[in-house]
Amino acid sequence: MTESRVVFKKEGVAPPPSKDFYQLTVQADRHVIWRSWSINLRISDSRSPAQSIFSSEEFIEKKSLQTEIARVLGCDTLEQVLNIVSPASSYSLEDLPEDVIRKICLNLEPESIGRLAQTSKRLRAVCYTDELWSILFKKSNGSVEKDIESAAEVVGWRTLFMSSTLQCKRFNNKIDKSSGTKPWVLFS
């Protein structure tokens, strides 16, 4: 089998008392790779990692493997993998790597990022990262002073971004009401 682009990858440790480590990878050609490392605390009993590769059809039929994935990595992970490998599926925004989703978010309005975050748990996690909101804050405000960075460590970059945006909108509304014009618009 040739190397194919990875569209999904997740690792996990089996529930206690086991300490076995597992890795699930789904490739663009819809092959599923299940790797397992049996961890034994006895030095004399060491085993090599095991790897199984399944086509999408084999994976869909292999109920015992699906049960194992649900037990180790969760039902959400199993559902996501089944959606990726099913014949009727097509790739969605959620299937993209986090750094690509973050780059897409950098080109969206804050309201659109909020709506995107409501579509799934994974997108919510990416859309609410401090890394994303730090970049957005710096992009909209230019240089950032140390006291702003300290405040962001306490309340988070998203909260800081939203509060600064709200304050600027209020300021623009006050100017608009008092003079009838807006000399500048920081945020529209």
As a whole number of angstroms, the distance between CA 169 and CA 146 comes to 24
Nearest to 9 by CA among 26, 29, 32, 34: 26
As a whole number of angstroms, the distance between CA 101 and CA 59 comes to 28
Record the tokens describing residue 51, joined without a space. Answer: 């790897």
What does the pLDDT read at residue 16?
83
DSSP secondary structure code for residue 160 in this structure? H
| Domains with residue ranges and CATH for the chain | 6-40+47-89 (no CATH), 98-176 (1.20.1280)
Q: How many CB atoms lie under 10 A from the CB of residue 113?
A: 21
Regions in the chain scoring below 50 on pLDDT? 182-188
Nearest to 124 by CA among 170, 87, 158, 168: 158
Record the tokens describing residue 155, joined without a space. Answer: 């309340």
What does the pLDDT read at residue 91?
63
Whole-prediction pTM: 0.48
Helix runs in 23-156, H state only: 56-61, 63-73, 75-85, 98-105, 110-117, 121-127, 130-141, 146-155
As a whole number of angstroms, the distance between CA 140 and CA 161 comes to 9
Record the tokens describing residue 177, joined without a space. Answer: 């009401």
As a whole number of angstroms, the distance between CA 7 and CA 165 comes to 36
Each residue of 88-122: pLDDT tens digit? 766 678 777 888 899 999 999 989 999 999 998 88
